[in-house]
Amino acid sequence: LDSEAAMVRFLNLVAAEPDIARVPVMLDSSKWSVIEAGLKCLQGKGVVNSISMKEGEEIFLERAREVRRYGAAVVVMAFDEQGQADTVERRVAICGRAYHLLTERAGFSPEDIIFDPNIFAIATGIEEHNGYALAFIEATRLIKERLPYALVSGGVSNVSFS
């Protein structure tokens, strides 16, 4: 499958239908080249899902600047060089670091930043996992409190994944 070509074809089909074309599109792929292909033909304001600091600040900023250049908003995963955030403190710290990089070094408006502080499965039967949903809710509260105008999203279907 040529996923870059598939993304472009899909977005061109969306753009050809007036009732659909006016709805914002979220570009989602694990391959950055597919997101780039989508950004190049996206009409209107889109959302890129997602970037993270998993590969370090420089790649994070490079991708963020490209997203901003195309006028899209961005979903930022609570993931850094040490891995996926699994505590309230790490979720808030990673999102705070990303917020400052995006607003101070990449020129993002806070309203165009959507944090995903990781919802982990609670239906695993493992006792330590029982607090995961509460940790997500608490992290969301702190992110909203400390990072003005940024938005929060989460993969709610992950709660029941086991």
Reported pTM: 0.93
In order of start, what are the domains of the chain with their CATH numbers?
A: 1-44 (no CATH), 46-160 (3.20.20.20)
Paired with 48 in beta bridges are: 27, 74
Q: Which two tokens stand for residue 61?
A: 């900023």
pLDDT in tens, 89-137: 999 999 999 999 999 999 999 999 999 999 887 777 778 777 888 899 9
Cβ neighbours for 34, distance < 8 A, ≥ 6 positions apart: 3, 4, 7, 27
